[in-house]
Amino acid sequence: MRRYFGTDGVRGTVNKTPMTAEFALTLGRAAGHVLTRHLQHKPHILIGKDTRLSGYMIESALCAGLTAQGMNVLLVGPIPTPAVAYLTRSLRADAGVMLSASHNPAGDNGIKFFAADGFKLPDATELAIETCIDDLPPLPPALEIGKAFRIDDARGRYIEFLKGSLPKRMRFDGIKVVIDSANGAAYDVAPRLLRELGCEVIRMYDEPNGYNINHECGSTYPEHMMQKVIETGADIGLALDGDADRLIACDGNGQLVDGDRVIAILAEHAQRSGVLSGGAVVTTLMSNMGLERYLADRDLVMHRAAVGDRYVLEMMREKGCNIGGEQSGHMILLDHNTTGDGLMTALQLLSAMSEQAKPLADMASDMVLFPQKLWNIVMSERKDVLADKQVQGLIAEAEARLQGNGRINVRMSGTEPKLRIMVEAADESLMLDVGEPLTQAISAHIC
């Protein structure tokens, strides 16, 4: 059983276990031992972070633990999570770490590890690190501790990597873009990248102060970006989350383009270009039935994985797919990067618009989405309510009411003590008639 690692690393409220300086130091020692015990050379690990105030504290403590265990540490400062995945490979590091709680508020933070190949650590390695936390190895001799180095050109390296994903000499001159950086890790990289490619850039929420990351901005508050597109007559709006591994877009009419529609656009464009692997894409249980039907009409298969980009990636590798993602905006484009990458996704959208000479509003415009709503039940602590026989019975009764004209997905959040209830139906009234009483009944039983 996992005690510290969730579906996306270790995460929690700062100064509460496990997100304390003491735990970060211990975790650094344990990770330093597990990740390097079979290496024959002096090991290197790269650490990036987003713009949270606590990033300084966690970075210092983790760095102390890693160097105490004999690892050299490469510090790259505030930078998107996908940049850490790329730079870990590019700089030939033995592992990478991102300090971020993604779209969570500033009071949270997280520690996410990457292997040398830029993919997230396997479950077995994370479990080995957890085991080592309880039985730390001896420290190396005094002169065998590691050093810490700052990498000053990390952001520039990442920008060049992103531009390298496009056809040579492709530019986006004349395209007006609103970019909401969520006061997060891409506050500098995102507008610089778009300007260098010729876009007219309208910046939003790119002044982080340690406290304002994700605060009523970014991919979880896309309405600000949507309104700015309408006000400025922009061609496209892009909203990132705090660590820039997810993207929510809107078209020139200010209409939302969520992850499902992005999947449809990118899959169809890749199919047209002859670069779609496996004739399929991977999404999750949350993806809309309308997307599934849209893809099927184009002879494309949609595989559904469990919710979480970790599970999407596992199925992509299993099925030989190069495009996968989540409705929430995590897009994994394996031809380009090993993890979700909001800016890479943005470039591929702009590339599709440019090559097809179409505005975003005209792309996948005939995809009809089923009405879908997500309800959240907040609990005082995480517990396995899905094993409760009464909860199972309530879900079964609700599914029977749909009579095959929709879906219900009930799951625990991977990062918070929340039960998420998604109901999708052929029409909105049926969706609400099923979802509202189901949520009320489950809430009354478990809270």
Q: Annotated catalytic sites, by residue?
A: 102
Residue 410, strand partner residues: 421
Nearest CA-CA partner of 264 in 253, 254, 243, 249 = 249
How many Å apart are CA 21 and CA 16, to the nearest integer?
Answer: 10
Question: In whole angstroms, what is the distance from residue 229 CA to residue 313 CA?
Answer: 32
Instruction: With H, G, I as helix, E, B as strand and everything else as coil, classify residue 335.
Output: coil
The contacts of residue 290 (CB under 8 Å, 6+ apart) are 260, 367, 368, 369, 370
The amino acid that residue 87 corresponds to is L
- C-alpha 75/C-alpha 218 separation (Å) is 26
Q: Beta strand 72-78 with 148-150: parallel, antiparallel or unpaired?
A: parallel
Query: Which H or E run contains 377?
Result: strand 372-378
Buried b (16+ CB within 10 A) or exposed e, 239-270: bbbbbbbbbbbbbbebbebbbbbbbbbbbbbb
What CA–CA distance (Å, rounded) separates 431 from 373? Answer: 8
Q: What SS3 class is residue 344? A: helix
